[in-house]
Chains A and B, each alone.
Chain A
Amino acid sequence: QVQLVESGGGVVQPGRSLRLSCAASGFTFSNYGMHWVRQAPGKGLEWVAVIWYDGSNKYYADSVKGRFTISRDNSKNTLYLQMNSLRAEDTAVYYCARDIKVWGLTNWFDPWGQGTLVTVSS
C-alpha cells in the first residue's frame, strides 16, 4: 500500500540546520509532486513547500523562503527538506504528503506521512 515515512526530526538550537527525509513506497514516486506541510503544537496546518514530480519546479511559503530547500531523489524514492537558520517558530510536526495528480499538481494532499517533530530550542 501507499506509504510515506518521515524521519530526521529532533531538537535543534536556533540558527542551526536540520534535514528531514520522507521515504515513499507503494507507488511510482517519480510520477508525483510532493509537499511538506507543518503543524505547530496545538495549532493548525501550514503548507511549507512543493516539488514537481521531476524536480523541475519548487515553490515555498513566504515564512521559509530562503531558509528551507525541498529536493528529491527519485532513484531512492525519497523526499527531503533541508532546513537552515532555524527559528523557534519553526517548531512543528512536519508532514510529507503526495499530490493527487500524476505528472502535474493539484495542491490536494493524499496520502500523508505520520509526521516528524522538529523542536527549535536553546
Chain B
Amino acid sequence: DIQMTQSPSSLSASVGDRITITCRASQSISSCLNWYQQKPGKAPKLLIYAASSLQSGVPSRFSGSGSGTDFTLTISSLQPEDFATYYCQQSYSTPLFGQGTKLEIK
C-alpha cells in the first residue's frame, strides 16, 4: 500500500510569509496528488489537483509542484484567512490523505 508522509505536522508563520509544506509518497504516484485546506468546524476545500493545477476560485498565491514521490504546496504571501490545516491526498490508487499540517499564526 502507498503511504503518504506530510511535513511538518505544524508550522507557525506570520502574515506575508512564504511557506512550503511537503508531501512524500512511499512509491511513485505520477502527478496524482491533491491539496486541501480545512478550517476548524468546516469541510475541506480543494486547492490544487494533479499536483500543480489550481482549482477554480483559489487565489494565485497558492501553488503546487512535484511528481513521482515528492510534492510541495507553497503559499507565496500568507493572508489571515490562510491559517488552517492542509492535507495532501494521493489519487493514484485507493485515496489516501497525509496526516495534515496545521498552519498557525506566529
Residues of A participating in the B interface, judged by any CB pair closer than 8 Å: 35, 37, 44-47, 50, 59, 61, 95, 100, 106-115
Which of these binds chain A: B16-24, B39-47, B61-69, B70-78? B39-47
CB atoms of B87 and A45 under 8 A apart: yes
Given A95-B43, A115-B43, A47 and B49 contact (CB-CB distance below 8 Å): no
Leading 10 A-B pairs by shortest Cβ distance: A107-B91, A112-B43, A47-B95, A110-B46, A45-B97, A107-B95, A108-B49, A44-B100, A108-B34, A44-B99
Residues of B participating in the A interface, judged by any CB pair closer than 8 Å: 32, 34, 36, 38, 42-46, 49-50, 55, 87, 89, 91, 94-100
CA gap between A59 and B91 in the complex, in Å: 14
**Cβ of A16 to closest chain B Cβ, rounded Å:** 26
Given A106-B91, A107-B91, A108-B91, A47 and B97 contact (CB-CB distance below 8 Å): yes
CA gap between A34 and B10 in the complex, in Å: 31
CA gap between A46 and B43 in the complex, in Å: 13
The 24 sampled A-B contact pairs (Cβ below 8 Å) are A44-B87, A44-B100, A45-B38, A45-B89, A45-B97, A45-B100, A46-B97, A47-B94, A47-B97, A50-B95, A59-B94, A95-B43, A95-B44, A100-B49, A106-B49, A107-B95, A108-B49, A108-B91, A109-B36, A109-B46, A110-B46, A112-B45, A113-B43, A114-B43
**Cβ of B21 to closest chain A Cβ, rounded Å:** 14
Chain A residues lying within 8 Å of B94, measured Cβ to Cβ, are 47, 59, 61
CA gap between A61 and B44 in the complex, in Å: 19
CA gap between A18 and B94 in the complex, in Å: 25
Closest-by-CB residue of A relative to B90 is A107
User: Assuming A37-B95, A112-B45, what are 7 further A-B pairs, CB within 8 angstroms?
Assistant: A47-B97, A59-B94, A108-B49, A110-B45, A110-B55, A112-B44, A113-B43
CA gap between A37 and B55 in the complex, in Å: 20
Among A45, A59, A107, contact of B44 (Cβ-Cβ < 8 Å): A45
CA gap between A25 and B98 in the complex, in Å: 30
CB atoms of B87 and A108 under 8 A apart: no
Chain B residues lying within 8 Å of A110, measured Cβ to Cβ, are 45-46, 55
Chain A residues lying within 8 Å of B91, measured Cβ to Cβ, are 106-108
